[in-house]
Amino acid sequence: KQSLEATLAASRSLKIQVQVLEIQSVNEFDGAYSASKKNNAEAINVLASPILFAYRQDLVNLSATHRLPGMYENKEFVEIGGLMSYGANLDELYRRSATYVDKILKGAKPSDLPVEQPTKFELVINLKTAKQIGLKIPPNVLARADRVIK
């Protein structure tokens, strides 16, 4: 919900029209992509969700089929053919959580530990996918990427 609210707020300030499509089941994926294309969508933004993550290959395939550039919150989408991702570095989050486990196993009360926000974010771009859908990524965007898949 927070990701959606942040996306909508950013779209308003950038004067970008956003169409929100809520998907309740896997059977609705193709219809959502078809509706996006029918409504002249120029790109899609798949927000983080355990269900969507589990079906990431299906979503990436639909983006390719409908020739819709896709933006994701997890790099795993890009590693299997999605266009780009920007989000918290999950490997770093897991490492940080290990320090919490260590403290708790040594007797710290979980409620006494501070809440941490992610501090390391990464931009991953798949140039192969960009080429397949006929999209040229500007050099200044490529220069900012933490990782470029060729």
First to last CA, the chain: 33
Provide φ and ψ at 127, rounded to 5°: -70, -30
Please state the φ and ψ torsions of residue 114, each to the nearest 5 degrees: -70, 150
At residue 24 the predicted structure's pLDDT band, cuts being 50, 70 and 90, is: confident
Q: Dump pLDDT digits (tens) for 25-61.
A: 899 999 999 999 899 999 999 998 998 999 999 999 9
- Please report which confidence band the pLDDT of residue 20 belongs to, taking 50, 70 and 90 as the band edges: very high
The candidate with the shortest Cα–Cα distance to 123, out of 91, 90, 145, 93, is 145
Reported as a pLDDT band with limits 50, 70 and 90, residue 64 is very high
Strands in 84-88's sheet, in edge-to-edge order, are 44-46, 70-72, 84-88, 121-126, 147-149
Q: Are 109 and 130 in contact (CB under 8 A)?
A: no
